[in-house]
Chain A
Amino acid sequence: MNETLPTATAPALRDILMPGMEECAQPLEGLLYLAEWSEDLVMLTNAQGDIIYTNDAVERVTGFSREEVLGSRARVWGYELDSAQQEAIWVRVTTERKQHQATVRNKHKDGRVYDAEVRVVPLVGANGSVKHCLVMERNVSDARQLERAKREFIALASHNLKTPLASMRWYAEMLLDGDAGSLKQDQREYIEEVLQGAKRMNDLIHTWLSITSIDLGTYTCEEKRVAVETVVERTVEELAARAQSMQVTVTHTPPVSPCVIIADEEVLHTIVHALLKNAVKYNRVGGSVSIELKQCAVGDECGGRVFTSEQVLLAVHDTGIGVPIDEQGMVFQQFFRGSNVEQQQSQGAGLGLFYARELARLCGGTMWFSSSEEGSDFYLALPTPNKKTRS
């Protein structure tokens, strides 16, 4: 944007500098001019640490007026630090000419304590010594409070929604174990239904809370080197009984070389589980699922895409009922269930693929698919360790 800045502001800077410091205005005029537009507190000190300039934000952030602040010693690095600690920071900035950056607790004029991000930058003169220090401070209390509120929301929702389910689950398991006496066959079946319902509800709540957590930016991952092959094998084993009950054959082509990525193993497991579970669940009786895992180089073509960086590719091919062509654009949307699926399967919330793709994005990966009445092919591409980028 080519906007002409008002000319009245720059000369006025000379008037807001501490008396006797007017000569500073010339070389620093541009910098201080910008500071006047800043929402954050910006101050300039002399080499001794006396504040010779501050912008308008000082009153909003600290409660002190410009007049009260000018000439005083900068103590923006936290009221909790004693004078010796403050002096040590000052010496490091002015003598070693190193920037100081920290999140501290400061005190407002009215006594309120607030969290602040502070940066102190030494400005070195022509002779190599520190001539001024630029001090910037941002009040981050609101941002931190919001962050805490988000985390508390997830924690309380998780606790309050899952605790009754855990209780149902445990009592149902105790009844099935015969802890309250033996059960008749139909009583056992009913309690099995209660137990399965509680487990399904628990999974749904877990998925919903995880999606909310991703949305709020509070989802945490523990990243490390993961062999994708291991996760695929584990998931195939977990789904073996389900596949067998539908007479679906699952085949797996191991990669030529190990496929390693940097990711949270449980997150990766959730993604792979969602893809393989869908391939089995929405298959035909007697159908098949084939899993292909490989390392793709730049220029390789797979699943209709040409790779522009090295990626690990997981391809899941199934002979299932497919996604109707006019609904394919909605496959990764929340609560989407294919119209052909809804006629056959009563269970499912339509969150699995949406959740899996959100998690894949967290891992820096991408997910796509193609589908026809003969089946679907789902692809998951994840960056190799040295190529990882967040999308």
Chain B
Amino acid sequence: MARALQIKLQREGFSATTVFNGAAALEMVSKESYDLIMCDLIMPKMDGFHVLEGLRAQGSTTPIMIMTNLSQEEDRQKALDMGACDFLVKSDTPIAEIIARVRKLLD
């Protein structure tokens, strides 16, 4: 589904790169700068909460949008408390709305 989002973002004029685990995400962000990071919570090797922690420890100020299928209020609150700027439940959110939120965050 990361591929679906990447295709859609590219069609909407954004440049998007994907990685498939938290550790790879941290490594990428340490090498290159990005305008926005879109991150799941459940991922191999390192989950999204640890990615949030790692990014902040690296001093990254890049906005982070959490996209997950965990819909419990405590997950949302925890992610926002850890510095995520947006939180959405993937299966409840039309892809067009995700693009709209991305535009809003990057405006």
Contacts and interface: CB of A to CB of B under 8 A. Distances in A.
Contacts of B77: 222
A174 B11 CA distance: 10
A interface SS class: helix
A173 B77 CA distance: 29
A220 B94 CA distance: 25
B96 A173 contact: yes
Interface in A139-158: 154-156, 158
Nearest to A209: B71
Interface residues of B, number: 23
B32 interface: no
Contacts, number: 63
A202 interface: yes
B100 interface: no
Contacts of B69: 158-159, 161-163, 166
B interface SS class: helix
Interface string A171-212: 101100101000000000000000000000010011000000
Given A155-B70, A179-B11, A162 B95 contact: no
Interface stretch (B2-10, B13-21, B23-31): B2-10
A159 B4 contact: no
Interface string B78-98: 000000000000111011100
Given A167-B4, A179-B8, A159 B70 contact: yes
5 nearest A-B residue pairs (beta carbon): A162-B69, A167-B1, A166-B91, A166-B90, A162-B91
Interface of A: 154-156, 158-159, 161-163, 165-167, 169-171, 173-174, 177, 179, 202, 205-206, 213, 219-222, 264
Interface of B: 1, 4-5, 7-8, 11, 41-42, 68-75, 77, 90-92, 94-96
15 contacts: A154-B72, A155-B72, A158-B69, A158-B70, A159-B68, A159-B70, A166-B1, A170-B1, A170-B95, A171-B4, A173-B94, A205-B91, A206-B71, A206-B92, A219-B72
